[in-house]
Amino acid sequence: GAGVSQSPSNKVTEKGKDVELRCDPISGHTALYWYRQRLGQGLEFLIYFQGNSAPDKSGLPSDRFSAERTGESVSTLTIQRTQQEDSAVYLCASTLQGMNTEAFFGQGTRLTVV
Amino acid sequence: RKEVEQDPGPFNVPEGATVAFNCTYSNSASQSFFWYRQDCRKEPKLLMSVYSSGNEDGRFTAQLNRASQYISLLIRDSKLSDSATYLCVVNEGYQKVTFGIGTKLQVIP
């Protein structure tokens, strides 16, 4: 497809389990972003990739969270030992190289930790 | 100080009203600015870019004030369909894009 694709769209997991969330950005987009959005709240920045490197990981809330990107394409966000407070929508966005760049979002992964 | 600050609202306005939102940013080297719209339980989508000279798209006007480091969004003749959260977005260069938490607008019949 032409847009940003995220999978799964919904994930229910038990507390303590690990989860992997996937993002396929638009082809050719070098920058990729992960955000978290809790119900009724704003976007919370997690991590930003430029190519395969992550110049800014400052938003990752704890060492249970990690992310990687390979081939300047797909990215995975991994949450280990999930907690109930991890329940949120995880949004991925990508942008073209350049200064005046529109960010295109995927539809998100809704994570519920029970 | 947060990099991008917005009043979360909610702003409750009657149909037909004019409403304005401001957003302040802390990095004076920021290069480009945008307003995004997010509908309930949907992903954010670009509403409009904000140019130095200001720009208008129908009922929507966006302006940039570099000296005071804020951008604004003006919505005239509000419609029920304008009800959404409006996100201020700042590109600080090197593709680092920072989103504000959003301002919630509710247009009331």
Share above pLDDT 90 across residues of chain A, in percent, rounded to a whole number: 71
Beta-carbon separation of A43 and B102 below 8 A: yes
User: Mean pLDDT across the stretch B71-89?
Assistant: 97
The CA angle B3-A90-A52, to the nearest 5 degrees, is 75
* A56-A59-A61-A65 Cα dihedral, nearest 10 degrees: -50
Mutation test of the interface with chain B: which of A10, A97, A99, choosing the one with the most B Cβ atoms within 10 A?
A: A99
Partners of B96 on chain A (C-beta within 8 Å) are 48, 55-56
pLDDT higher for B46 or A56? B46
Counted across chains A and B, CB pairs separated by less than 8 A come out at 64
Q: How many CA atoms lie within 13 A of B45 on its CB side?
A: 8
Q: Which DSSP state fits A15?
A: T
Do the bridges between strand B97-99 and strand B45-50 make them parallel or antiparallel, or are there none, so unpaired?
unpaired
- Residue-wise pLDDT for B17-62, tens only, equals 999 999 999 999 888 899 999 999 899 999 999 988 889 999 999 9
What is the band of A103 on the pLDDT scale with cuts at 50, 70, 90?
confident
The verdict on a CB contact (< 8 Å) between A101 and B95 is yes
**Count of C-beta atoms within a 10 Å radius of residue A47:** 22
Name the DSSP class of A60.
-
Q: What SS3 class is residue B65?
A: strand
Confidence of residue B92 (pLDDT cuts 50, 70, 90): confident
What burial class does residue B1 get, using C-beta atoms within 10 Å of its C-beta: 0-12 exposed, 13-18 middle, 19+ buried? exposed
